[in-house]
Homo-oligomer: A and B are copies of this chain.
Amino acid sequence: MSDVLSNDLMQKMDAYWRAANYLSVGQIYLQDNPLLEQPLQLEHIKPRLLGHWGTTPGLNLLYVHLNRLITEHDLDMIYIIGPGHGGPGLVANSYLEGSYTERYPAIERNRNGLQRLFRQFSWPHGVPSHVSPETPGSIHEGGELGYSLAHAYGAAFDNPDLIVACIVGDGEAETGALATSWHSNKFLNPARDGAVLPILHLNGFKIANPTVLARISRQELTDLMRGYGYEPIVVEGDEPALVHHALAAALDRALADIQAIQAAARHQGVTARPRWPMIILRTPKGWTGPKQVDGKQVEGTWRAHQVPIADFKDPAHVQLLETWLRSYRPEELFDANGKFRDELAALAPTGHCRMSANPHANGGELLQPLSLPDFRNYAVALSAPGAAKAEATRALGTFLRDVMRDNLETKNFRLFGPDETASNRLDGVLEVTDKQWMADIEDVDIALGPDGRVMEVLSEHLCQGWLEGYLLTGRHGLFSCYEAFIHIIDSMFNQHAKWLKACDAIPWRRPIASLNYLLTSHVWRQDHNGFSHQDPGFIDHVVNKKASVVRVYLPPDANCLLSVADHCLRSRNYVNLIVAGKQPEWQWLDIDAAVRHCTAGAGIWHWASNDDGDPDVVMACAGDVPTVETLAAVMLLREYVPDIRIRVVNVVDLMVLQPSSEHPHGLDDRRFDELFTVDKPVVFAFHGYPWLIHRLTYRRRNHFNIHVRGYKEEGSTTTPFDMVVLNDLDRYRLALDAIRRIPRLAGQVESATDRYWATMQRHKLYIGEHGDDMPEIRDWRWQA
């Protein structure tokens, strides 16, 4: 192996690495004496030791080597850390290159700053032990494992000059999300997108076990990587000087390969999917840490995972820690004031070239608003409520087509979905762009190509992970998914929502575009798909997160969906959940009425009401199917019980139901009472699990009178109308619910019940005999 590093450079890089390691160990252990100017004493050591050492030296090694690559080649690079518990290493490197002090001025580049840096780590109200939103340069929370590589690809899309170095831990490599993320290279176009350089770091151990990929043969591992479509470059060793040279050579080669691939695609017209380079780096876990503690091997074992030396009541342990810290020769690294020596600091890139200060990793700095056509132009024309049917998502698809078209040039909008864009009737967008595809293309394929902006892969994890990476680097997107299966990424949503919530308290994190979900093919319209496809619980899951970052919309028709979608695409730092069906369904509001209704979030539909301000009953609804059933129930009630006074309330923004003290969209109590009364029965037909409405309204004055119908885990392969019958959400049941709850109609309940059952029997027969069974109301005769 020829040495790609001069001896001087290698020595300096090694010193830089030692500095990062020293700062990492210092963060884990020290509360005082940061430069070891005195012999180490028990009182210098934190009383409670928390942190993860094991992965950190490898991350630090890679950092200094990537810095060399950046400075030598003037690269635009960010760094994504899969083994996120190596938090101290990232903080250390940000500190060494100055960006940490820029973001957090109290952490000065001197002795005092060092002490504060050490002390704040894993300290109450300090910084977490894993990479987090507080870490400069990070777009990837290091808590839950498995999403690094998907985030990396999301960041690289449409950033042709960016290289995303992505460290994949061999622990996280066992997760499902990561295992499929390698295939992202079939969706990255070297002519248009940036590059991802995956670096699989085999340190061999998890908390208490070896890792799978570290315990298969090198042949199997390189076969695996080749099978995933990469060309692996293997670096392994435990002798720093040798590893420095080998790693430098590997990175040079990887960069050359990336540049050759990009040049071929960009200048020589090569369109075939390239074999991208990736690096396999095998180094000991807890490398440069104590070899043994109390006679047990630590370096190179799982014992190095967290805090390798503990129990400092044993003076020998204090001595061992001091020896370990001094092995980095801090006096060579920091000057007498505790400032990192200039000749070493000079190794780092400067300004925005520092990975910890790259604006791509604080995407809000780069965010450009979308160019949005006027959504009103895509409205479904409507002469009166109930005068037409339309497919809500198809109307949205036309709007999205033009959103796509109007932002093709700026290349900052993509649509994500697991093979469902057409099924969910958003295929209008395919008129202006393809589905992205770098694998082989055959004659039968349609709308598939290397420049597509619709990202379809049968992995909700990849859709979510790519979109998160895309948003966090300052772009826009929308994820459409079957409602039931969005639970696959419940946990990823959690982590993103927590990221956004944490950013609320970090002033330098600039707002990013919201993460927008469109859930369709929803619980009420599964048709040939049965019970396994019915689950509206993602709404509940979302509502559990902090009110400041979550919004839930249930547009009752196409025009409301358009209004809501436009709003969501303009919003920042939220997760917006939209649930809307794709089937032909009755339309209620013209576009102006829809805008007013969506702006208010909820309102009385006067055209369907006849309460004159004093209802016998409030018929409330949220969701498209519940709205149809509620209005059909109102029609029935008017026919059967002509003197009944009914108020219809539709809720499109679910969060209005919460008290204003709980959610910024919450109606104040006066306004809520104006809609729902303070003492009249409310029959509430809800898209999701009924108890959510109780949860949101339990502090409201009239809560005791609210009677909710919704999905209660009944259903099978059956017709749409049977679905609402099975879950007691059908028009007959709602009408009966209303009659039952109006005291002056008590005597009519029995006859109404009889009629209900008689009608139901007819419909049961109908369900049995016919394919499509929805009892149609062909003329919605709304009285003045």
A-to-B contact residues, CB < 8 Å: 46-48, 50-51, 122-130, 132, 141-146, 171-172, 174-181, 183, 186, 206-212, 215-216, 220-229, 297, 300-302, 419-423, 435, 437, 439-442, 444-445, 448, 456-462, 484-485, 487-488, 490-491, 494-495, 498, 501-502, 527-533, 535, 537, 540-541, 544-546, 689, 691-692, 694-695, 698, 703-704, 713, 716-719, 722, 767-768, 770-773
- A188 nearest CB across to chain B (Å): 13
Q: Is the CB of B210 within 8 A of A448?
A: yes
Q: CB within 8 A of A128: which of B48, B440, B716?
A: B716
- Asked if B174 contacts A459 (CB within 8 A), the reply is yes
With a CB–CB cut-off of 8 A, which chain B residues contact A704? Answer: 704
Kindly name the residue among A208, A229, A719 whose own CB sees the greatest number of chain B CB atoms within 10 A: A208
Distance in Å: Cβ of A202 to nearest Cβ of chain B: 12
CB closest chain-B residue, reference A174: B458
Does the CB pair B207–A145 fall under 8 Å?
no
Contacts of A126 in B (CB 8 A): 717
Bound CA–CA A215/B437 (angstroms): 10
A175-B488, A210-B442 are known; give 18 further A-B pairs, CB within 8 A.
A122-B717, A132-B530, A146-B176, A176-B459, A176-B461, A179-B179, A183-B212, A206-B458, A208-B421, A215-B439, A215-B441, A220-B226, A223-B224, A494-B537, A495-B532, A540-B541, A544-B713, A694-B698
Instruction: Give the complex CA separation of A525 and B585 in angstroms.
Output: 49
C-alpha spacing A109/B460, complex, angstroms: 42
Checking B127, B206, B420, B484 against A419 with a beta-carbon cut-off of 8 angstroms, the contacting residue is: B206
- List B contacts of A770 (CB < 8 A): 47-48
Task: Evaluate contact between A221 and B215: CB separation under 8 angstroms.
Answer: no
Contact at A541–B537, with CB atoms within 8 Å? yes
Most buried by B among A172, A181, A488: A488
Q: Which residue of B lies closest to A442 (CB)?
A: B210
- Shortest Cβ distance from A531 into B: residue: B498
Q: A302 contacts which chain B residues (CB < 8 A)? A: 444
CB distance from A512 to the nearest CB of B (A): 18
By beta carbon, the residue of chain B nearest A488 is B491
Which of A122, A176, A186 has the largest count of B CB atoms less than 10 A from its CB? A176
B694 x A501 contact (CB < 8 A):
no
A514 to chain B minimum Cβ distance, whole angstroms, is 18
A461 and B460 alpha carbons, distance in the complex (Å): 14
Expressed in whole angstroms, the minimum distance between the Cβ of A85 and any Cβ of chain B is 8
In the bound assembly, the distance between CA atoms of A209 and B418 in angstroms comes to 10
Cβ-closest chain B residue relative to A221: B227
Contact of A423 among B51, B122, B208, B544 (CB under 8 A): B208
- Once A47-B772, A215-B439 are accepted as A-B contacts, the answer to whether A125 and B176 lie under 8 Å apart by CB is no
Q: How far is B182's CA from A228's CA once the two chains are assembled, in angstroms?
A: 13
Given A47-B772, A129-B530, A718-B124, verify A223-B212 contact (CB < 8 Å).
Answer: no
Asked if A46 and B458 sit within 8 Å, CB to CB, the answer is no
Distance to closest chain B CB from A655 (angstroms)? 14
Closest CB of chain B to A540's CB: distance in Å? 6
- Decide: B180 and A130 in contact? CB cutoff 8 A: no
Bound Cα distance from A722 to B224, whole angstroms: 46
B537–A419 touching, CB < 8 Å: no
Give 20 A-B contacts (CB < 8 Å), ordered by A residue. Answer: A47-B770, A124-B767, A125-B716, A125-B718, A128-B716, A141-B532, A143-B484, A175-B180, A186-B212, A186-B215, A208-B420, A208-B422, A209-B419, A210-B437, A210-B445, A220-B227, A494-B535, A498-B532, A537-B544, A544-B713
In the bound complex, CA of A222 to CA of B220 (Å)? 12
Q: Is the CB of B695 within 8 A of A51?
A: no
Report the separation of the CA atoms of residues A604 and B301 in the bound assembly, to the nearest whole angstrom. 49
Asked, given contacts A186-B216, A485-B144, whether A50 binds B719 with beta carbons under 8 Å apart, the answer is no
Q: Is the CB of A128 within 8 A of B487?
A: no
A549 to chain B minimum Cβ distance, whole angstroms, is 9
CB-based contact A180/B186 at 8 Å: no
Whether A212 touches B127, Cβ cut-off 8 Å, given contacts A301-B444, A528-B122, A531-B502, is no
> Hey, which chain B residues are within 8 Å of A546, CB to CB?
713
Cβ of A538 to closest chain B Cβ, rounded Å: 9
Contact between A531 and B221, CB atoms less than 8 A apart: no
Smallest beta-carbon distance A617→chain B, Å: 20
Do A458 and B171 touch (CB < 8 A)? yes
Complex CA–CA separation, A167 to B209 (angstroms): 31
Provide the residues of chain B in CB contact with A223, threshold 8 Å.
223-224, 226-227
Residue of A124, A142, A484 with most partner-chain B CB within 10 A: A124
Pick from B207, B531, B713: contact of A422, CB under 8 Å: B207
Known: A129-B717, A174-B458, A544-B537. A532 touches B186 (CB 8 A): no
Chain B residues whose C-beta falls within 8 Å of the C-beta of A171 in the assembled complex:
419, 458
Min CB distance, A285 to chain B, in Å? 10
A706 CB to nearest chain B CB (Å)? 9
The reply to whether B544 and A540 form a contact with Cβ atoms under 8 Å apart is yes
Q: Which residues of B contact A487 (CB under 8 A)?
A: 490-491, 494
Question: In whole Å, how far is A715's beta carbon from the nearest beta carbon of chain B?
Answer: 10
- Say which residue of B122, B227, B540 sits within 8 Å of A226 (CB atoms): B227
With beta carbons under 8 angstroms apart, the residue of B51, B143, B530, B773 that contacts A533 is B143
Alpha-carbon distance A695/B221, docked complex (angstroms): 50
Q: How far is the CB of A425 from chain B (nearest CB, A)?
A: 12
Smallest CB gap from A126: residue in B: B717
CB distance from A586 to the nearest CB of B (A): 20
Residues in B with CB closer than 8 Å to A124 are 717-719, 722, 767-768, 773
Q: How far does the alpha carbon of A142 sit from the alpha carbon of B457 in the complex, in Å?
A: 19
Q: Tell me the complex Cα distance, A713–B216, Å.
A: 41
Assembly CA distance A318 to B177 (angstroms): 45
Complex contact B691–A297 (CB within 8 A):
no
